[in-house]
Structure 1
Amino acid sequence: MKENPIKIKIIKPQVEEVVPEASNSNFEASEFTTAWQKIAKICLYILTGLLPLFFLPITIAPVEINKQMLATILVLVAFLCYLIDSLNRRAIRYPKSLISLGVLIFLILTGLSATLSLAQENAIFGNLIQPDTFLSFIVGGLIFFLAAVYFKKNDLNKLAVYFFAGLVLTAIFGSIQIFGKFILPWNFSRSPAFNSIGSMSSWGIFISFGLVMIVVGLISLEFSKRQKIIVAAAGLLMMFDLFVLNIQMLWVGLALVMLCVMFLRFTQRLEINLPLIIIIVCLLFILLGQRLPSLVNLTTEVRPSISATSSIIKGTFVGVRQILLGSGPASFGFNWRLFRPVALNQTAFWLTTFNQGFSFAATLLITTGILGILAFFFVIFAFIRELFKKLPLKDNNRTIVTTGLSFLLINLFIFPISFSQLFFIFMALGIFVHGSEKNYEINFYVGDKSQKIKGLMSFLLTIFFIALTFFTIYVIGQKYIAAAYYQRGTLDSSLDMAISDLTKAKSFDSRNDVYLRMLSNALSLKVNQIGSTPVSEQTMQSLSGQLQNTIALALNFGTLATQFNPLDSLNWSNLGNVYENLIPISGADTFAEKNYNKVIELDPHNPQGQVDLARMWIVSADKSQERDAGWQEKLNKAESALNKSISLKSDYAAAHFLLAQIYFREGDINATIRKVVDLVNITPNDSGLLFQLGILYYRANQISQAQIAFERAVSLDQNYANARYFLGLIYDAQGQKQKAIEQFKKIQALNPDNNEVKSILDNLRNGKSALSGIVPPAQAPENRIQTPVGSKP
């Protein structure tokens, strides 16, 4: 049927049969329809310009959560307008093309994968952070659909203005940030690596995407002199940003697209100078970029290598469901913990959990399986097929969009994806489809019997989707409010206030395992607080009831977190910790052991799981009434777990620290020291073993020997914060205040949020003892069951 977005000739006669004033009724409906279309387009215009820039400080992830929220709400409002527009027009309009079929199949398969995922809530929503959730793909699919239905040729000019404004402002803001000129007051924004897109590579992809379309626009469109100067200046700014970033694979992607542009223009005997210049620049940076001096000092961005991602693929594909549909959208992080290379423990990134693999395409294979990646390839195949059918493209605006889309698609195989990239891929696909294919309509009340049935079903389906859209907007709004309360809860200085805000977050989003876990953890801390509060006999009964209720809530919410997301080892770790805090209540250590073993099962190469299990057995042994065979058995279990932890990460401070604590509890510390000295003589460059020896000397009051061991450990590993901690205490005890200050300043640089280190530095600078006002009330550092500054950085 010929496309006609407003007037439907076949409806008017039917309306005249029922309503006497037919023409007037149709006129009003026509005006109403136009208004809904305008609202839908305005939503998409706003998104195009604002999405790259948008972030707010009211959630734990200022960029990701707020971008997804903005896009989800505005896209749903635009889709709602489309549905109401369809009711007024008595017809459903949709883009009929091979690409549309591919997008639909992709959404169905990712939805099926999310439904079958063990972490279903995470697969669908992903805390509104991950860009590869089912919700993100649905939003992308709706953007594609709306762009294909609504964006005509004369809409693209207005759309380009919005996009260009957002692009330039995003580039300017990122440039200011890179050079350390922070214009925003929030702490999270005061870093050269912060930008309004996400990671530095994501920002670079977006800038390159804009540069591609600027270059094609300059050689394809007619600009006034003033317009050409503005567009060219923006292109130079983006080229400069790419120089500063100097990410080699970005140059590769840019060169490939420019090569395609140059080839097509060459075959059409058109000017090729500008794309040729860009290709030459790209080749220079590909060959020489790593040898060029850096203009700014940016933190190196890391991601899993191809080989590491391949090992995750191999580990994940263990059953028919996993092979066909993967582990579920947004589940790469859980697979990473389960199958990551153990060699990573010897690097600075051993605690890092990556939420995507080497590239989006590789991540998609893991999370949605072979069927998901085949559907993704089918969409790309359909795009390429339609593109070759339409070559050479006669519409310059669509040529620009198609070139930019090609660049973004190439980068799906080179980099992880950001939500902004996902948004513009689907929008560009929709624009491409609208320019390549005609839209089709299903009328509600015309035709033969079969068509009328089809029309009736379409009408009922439209009503259903209107209700579903309203419900989804409500759910997403609830989740956003929950995210705001969650951020407040993590920042509250008062434990009671934190519990109150986390409870509100849980009430708005009751199935979010992160909120449940954090609330459970806060309540567990409250249990400790109540238990350590001195009380009179009069208040004992009321506090006993409060204590029991708090314990029950902590266990309940911790258990719910493991039920809603059994794949996240952090949920099981929290529940194990809650039970650990209840020791010596009968059975608490057994339940704690069960949960910590689940942590080890889900994150087998992380040494912290074994340390948590060992700490629990030490606590259980310490609270035993007698030093009998059971007491020794618990320490033996702890020692076994710590040795496993050290086998995973030989320099892990927490494991060595607790192992020294076990030796001290068992009594013959001098014999233990001799044993460790023999081990140090065998492996003299093992900083972890030297730290353990230093702790043993420190506890045996052999301070000079401890100093030698700690100094040796620090010389081998400059970032060994816990070794520096005890070395600083030794210098302080010797009256060498300046040396002590130097040690704790270096610790603070590695652990800027450690309040105890801040207090120690204040004491030393004021001429006090390092632990003045800290010990007591706190335990002496050598007597604790956790290292003073957490794990070794």
Structure 2
Amino acid sequence: MNKRVIRNNKDITLNHYLRLFVFAFLLLMVFLVPIAQPIFLKLHDISEIPKVTLIRVLGSFALLLWAVWTYILNKRLRLPPKIVSAGIFLFLISWGLSTIFSTNFYLSFFGSYMRQMGFLTYFFYFATFFLLYDVIETHTELRYFYWTIVITTVVVDFFGALQLYRLMPWYERVRTESRIISTLGHADFLGHFLVMVMPLILALIYQVKNLCLKISLYFLFLLSFLVLLGSYTRGAWVAFLVGIIFYYAFVLLKEKKFFTSKNKIITLALVLGLGFTVGIFYISETKLYLERKDVGLFSLKERFESIGAGLGVTQQNPRVLTWRDSVRLFEDKILKSPRIIYGLGPETFSFNFTPYKSLDLARYDRGKGYPDREHNEFLDILFPQGLFGLFSFIFIIVSVFFYSIKNYHHINPENRILFLGALTGWISFLVQGLVLFGLSATYLYFWILTAFIMIFFKLEKKDSVWEVSLSSLARLFILILCIFVSIFSIKFSLQFFRAEIYYRYGLDYINSGEVGRAAAILEEAIKLRPQETAFHEAVIKAYLGIMGGAENEDIKKEAFIKGESHIKGLLENAYYKSLTYNLVGAFYAQAYHYLGRKDETLIKKAEEYLNEALSYDRYCVPPMENLLKMYSTDLKNEEKALEIAERILEIDSYHVEAASYAAKFYFQEGDFEKAKEIYERLLSINPNDKNILFNLGLVMYRLGDLNKAEEYLLKSLNIDPTYSNALELLRVIYKQLGKEDKLKEIKIDERVYIQRGLEAYKNKDYNSAFDYFKKALELKPNSPEIMNNIGAVLFMSGRYDEAILWFKKALETKKDYVQAYGNLVYAYLQKGDLFSAEVVLNEGLKYAPNDANLRELKNKLEELKKERRQ
């Protein structure tokens, strides 16, 4: 009897700890995934990789421990109601089926490089849903997840606010627009995340008793709203509005007693707070973005007014254009084949879609972009998973929603407000899903909210649980399966993540010009993940860099052979096929120039691959650009070059290279009017391009309009007074007009001489640089920048005493000219005058105490002083 009691106690303890660890891993996943952004992986462009890795690894540990728990102690499965579980199991089967019959199994199983939303990742969303449902046994445990989501939202909002107010240096360096992304990687997904979590925070505001906590949640809700506005995501704004309307409408219909005097005050405070937040955002936007056109591309007013506008098929609606163009893809590849059932396969939309892309859609992004998804959650299921996947997903939505409405009264009144928060966030995801698709964090939270909704009924309505008893054989099978899946997932996820680190460092080396080191480290990445197209693409670029920089012909040939060896791996799982084939074409075209002996087969291969790229996307501009260069220079085929130039201009009428070639061709053929039309179009977007102005002057001269020709040439000379071609043509025109003396009136701008001086300095032609800077100083005698440049030239020429005099002159003209202080310190250090160097350095630090160069010089000076004392 005592032994049995002891054994039962051991079972209870083991049961407690196994369940606790599963619970902990799930809690950790909920907390970490939305905020995971390791700095060394350049957060702005691959935000999904750390998030997906966490989902797979933490999910694997949770699944493995759950399997052990089930095998030893649990001995049964607790599932949501049969109608809901059936829909979810069918949806999982549709994922498996579409992956097996995918048009590219590797992409469908592991996912595309940037997204990684293949079957392996999505499997863990299903696993997370069922594990949460099975593991959470009390309302207290459920609240742990609610509060974890609140803490995660605090972190997301914190970084969102930093970006909004331009207090995040790395983000300022990479921002291309005024939208903020926080830790979600993209503004749209930041909005998608917030519309799911804000209803949970709203529910907690009403539900918690502690006043300080209630006030803190209130301000968190308003901060989340501020960040939501800063995302400029219209779909999220609409989803938030729909969610709030649903929330309060449901409360009014079902909870008559909800609006106590206290809750009325809270509701009024929320309404006033939201209005106040809009005002704060509008003022912030005006000061930080609208007055800085180089930073801000959006405005609250314009984005709000454009909600719902232009839903027709126009060039300014890429989503609608994508939906329209994909109809032909659906009719051609899906409708009349078995793929109507199981689709094209997850993560394969882009390369299946591009042959059907229209000219309208190509014009939107000037032929250089690709829709990698449908930007509609339901279409993003239909195309990869067919009708089986779409109907099962709709069945899940309908069954969860109607089950919730029908059984709402079973939930304890004290918990209904929290339940409603989960249901509202879940609905908000689906509303924004009409114009967006989910990614790692947002899909995870969608399935977490689905689990929360069903857990409320599990805890309140005991007959809602579908219990399945498991035989020992069934438990053993589940254990073995979960062990295999977990080990497989952890192994490959960590291996892929390690490969990603190599890849990122390889790209850094390419960008810094260290292509040899880049190639070596990228080869290591490929060993870890040989099927990844992006890695092969990067290493081919590295070998191209080696070919271009090497002087030894054997090194060039070896780099070519190694680069060519990666072409098969590059093409095998290509996601953007046209760009991938374009890279292969560019590789052969550049190899033709880099290798000492001109091999005509290389340029023919280049032409073949570039045309192959256009077979996948006839409106892809990059391969056309490469073909234009080849036909105009290497192959000397003017007719084909013109054909390609006109194809580019059909997509992008302002494409400089294509337009310039076409205009030059028409000019040579004597069609001056056509050449004039093209140059005028180019001038409208490049009004300060001296070459375009000169070419227009030349065209007008040939058309006989000498006055207009004079006008364009003078504008060209105003930009570069030493532009010899423009001066020569102007002399001819003035001679014909009898105005030879007017040439003397052309003023030379000092900026021309400064630019020429800088170019000479860069080329180490210090004598010419000195002459140019001296001429510039004659035109602008009080310029500290020019004086500093003269000093720099003298310094590089070894004339340190003269350089010191010029640096001092620059500082006499401008006392806070930090660059001159640094240069003067360098000059004194070169002469060994540490005392003077220290005096100048300290003076410079008064004006710029945080200047990196001056701080570095201070450290260097201290080291030299220490060496001298020794």
Q: In structure 2, give the amino acid aligned to 1:639.
A: L
Q: Which residue of 1 aligns with 2:484?
A: 467
1:440 alignment partner in structure 2: 467
2:212 alignment counterpart: 226
Number of aligned residue pairs: give it. 688
Q: Equivalent residue for 1:428?
A: 449
SS of the equivalent of 2:566 reads helix
CA distance in 2, matches of 1:464, 1:46: 24
For residue 166 of structure 2, what is the aligned residue in structure 1? Answer: 180
Deviations 1:582-621 (A, max 9, x none): 4342532332222111211122112332222232344543
Match of 1:598 among 612, 615, 633: 612
Partner of 1:571: 580
Give, in whole Å, the separation in 1 of the partners of 2:59 and 2:28.
10
Task: Determine if contact 2:543/2:563 at 8 Å carries over to the other structure.
Answer: yes
In structure 2, what is the Cα distance between the partners aligned to 1:515 and 1:564?
Answer: 11
C-alpha change, 1:249 and 1:463, in structure 2 (3 Å) is closer
| Identity percentage of aligned residues | 14
**1:490 and 2:507 are equivalent in the alignment:** yes
Q: Who is 2:536 aligned against?
A: 516
Aligned partner of residue 270 in structure 1, secondary structure: coil
Q: Distance in 1 between the 2:564 and 2:338 partners?
A: 32
Name the stretch that deviates more: 258-267 or 179-188: 179-188
Equivalence for 2:429: 408
Matched, 1:555 2:564: yes
- The offset of 1:68, in angstroms, is 1.6
Q: Deviations over 1:684-729 (max 9, x none)?
A: 74228999998699799979979x99xx99x99xxxxxxx999966
Asked whether the 8 Å contact 2:340–2:386 carries over to 1, the reply is: yes
Distance change in 2, residues 1:728/1:29 (3 Å) = farther
Pair 1:34 & 2:29 matched? no
Distance in 2 between residues matched to 1:430 and 1:291, nearest whole Å: 40
Change (3 A) 1:199 1:564: closer
Contact preservation (8 Å) 1:304, 1:358: no
Label 1:146 to 1:285 Cα distance change in 2 as closer, same or farther (>3 A).
Answer: same
Per mean C-alpha deviation after superposition, the further-off stretch among 477-486 and 340-349 is: 340-349
Within-5 A mapping of 1:532-681? 533=551, 535=552, 544=554, 547-565=556-574, 568-583=577-592, 584-618=598-632, 620-621=634-635, 634-658=637-661, 672-673=667-668, 675-681=670-676
Contact 2:19 2:66 in 1 (8 A): yes
Partner of 1:99: 84
Aligned partner of 1:782 in structure 2 is none
Q: 1:742 to 1:655 in 2, by over 3 A?
A: farther
Report 1:773-784 matches (<5 A).
none
From 28, 38, 52, the counterpart of 2:34: 52
- Structure 1 residues 682, 200: closer, same or farther in 2, change over 3 A? closer
1:161 Cα shift? 2.0
Q: Structure 1's 161 and 758: CA in aligned 2 closer, same or farther, altered over 3 A? A: farther
Partner Cα separation in structure 1 for residue 716 and residue 539 of structure 2:
32
* CA gap 1:698/1:759 in 2 versus in 1, 3 angstroms: farther
Query: How far did 1:417 drift?
Result: 2.6
**Greater displacement, 30-39 / 142-151:** 30-39
Are 2:672 and 2:699, in contact at CA under 8 Å, matched by a contact in 1? no
Conserved 8 A contact 1:259-1:279? no
| Kept after mapping to 1: 8 A contact 2:339/2:386 | yes
Task: Please list the CA deviations of residues 293-328 of structure 1 after superposition, one character each: whole Å capped at 9, or x if unmatched.
Answer: 756424449995442122232132112255444433
Does structure 2 retain, via aligned residues, the 8 Å contact 1:95–1:433? no
2:830 paired residue number: none
1:353 is aligned to 2:338: no
Q: Distance in 2 between matches of 1:382 and 1:653?
A: 56
1:206 to 193, 217, 221: 193
Q: Are 2:177 and 2:298, in contact at CA under 8 Å, matched by a contact in 1?
A: no
Q: In 2, are the aligned partners of 1:653 and 1:688 still within 8 Å (CA)?
A: no
Question: Normalized against structure 2, the TM-score is what?
Answer: 0.69
Contact 2:585–2:606 (8 Å) recurs in 1: yes
Equivalent in 136, 142, 150 of residue 135 of structure 2: 150
The question of whether the paired residues in 2 share the 8 Å contact of 1:332 and 1:367 is answered with: yes
Matched to 1:313, the amino acid is S
Q: Kindly indicate whether residue 327 of structure 2 is the aligned counterpart of residue 314 of structure 1.
A: yes
Distance 1:131 1:353 in 2: 17
Q: Which residue of 1 aligns with 2:53?
A: 69
Aligned mate of 1:503, from 516, 523, 540: 523
How far residue 658 of structure 1 moved from its aligned partner, in angstroms, is 4.9
8 Å CA contact retained: 1:651, 1:688: no
Cα distance in 2 for partners of 1:528, 1:477 equals: 35
Question: What is the deviation of 1:428?
Answer: 1.3
Q: In structure 1, how many angstroms separate the alpha carbons of the residues matched to 2:271 and 2:755?
A: 50
Looking at structure 2, the residues matched to 337 and 743 of structure 1 have their Cα atoms a distance apart, in angstroms, of: 44
Give the superposition deviation at 1:430: 1.6
Paired with 1:741 and 1:25, the residues of 2 have a C-alpha distance of 91
* Cα contact 2:346–2:384 (8 A) shared by 1: yes
Q: Indicate conservation of the 8 Å contact 1:244/1:295, yes or no.
A: no
Post-superposition CA distance 1:28-57 (Å, at most 9, x none): 454333322211111122222232222112
Alignment CA distance shift 1:24-1:344 (3 Å): same
Larger radius of gyration: 2
Aligned: 1:137 with 2:122: yes
Q: CA deviation at 1:128?
A: 5.4
Q: 1:187 to 1:349 in 2, by over 3 A?
A: same
Q: Gapped runs of 5+ residues in structure 1?
A: 1-15, 446-455, 536-542, 622-631, 664-670, 717-723, 745-754, 771-793
Alpha-carbon distance, 1:482 to partner: 0.6
Q: What secondary structure sits across from 1:465 in the alignment?
A: helix
Shift of 1:503: 0.6
Are the counterparts in 2 of residues 485 and 501 from structure 1 also a CA contact under 8 Å? yes
Residue identity in the other structure for 1:78: A
Match of residue 399 from structure 1: 420
Q: Quick check: 251-260 or 512-521, which moved more? A: 251-260
Q: Distance in 2 between matches of 1:462 and 1:388?
A: 36
Higher helix share: 2
Return the alpha-carbon distance in structure 2 between the equivalents of residues 150 and 514 of structure 1. 39
For residue 675 of structure 1, what is the amino acid of its counterpart? G
Task: Name the counterpart of 1:43.
Answer: 25
Q: Matched residues in 2 for 1:324 and 1:567: separation?
A: 25
In structure 1, what residue type is equivalent to 2:191? Answer: G
2-side partners of 1:99 and 1:271: how far apart?
29
Aligned pair partner of 2:111 in 126, 132, 140? 126
Shift of residue 573 of structure 1? 1.2
Distance 1:291 1:697, change over 3 A: closer
2:682 maps to a residue whose letter is S
CA deviation after TM superposition for structure 1 residue 332, in Å: 3.8
Question: What is the CA deviation profile of residues 484-504 of structure 1, one whole-angstrom value per residue up to 9, with x for unaligned ones?
Answer: 111101111211011011111
Question: Structure 1's 705 and 390: CA in aligned 2 closer, same or farther, altered over 3 A?
Answer: farther
8 Å CA contact 1:513–1:562 kept in 2: the answer is yes
- 1:267-317 deviation line (CA, Å, top 9, x unaligned): 33133546688689989999xx99997564244499954421222321321
Aligned to 1:421, the other structure's residue is in SS state helix
Q: Is the 8 A contact 1:482 1:508 kept in 2?
A: yes
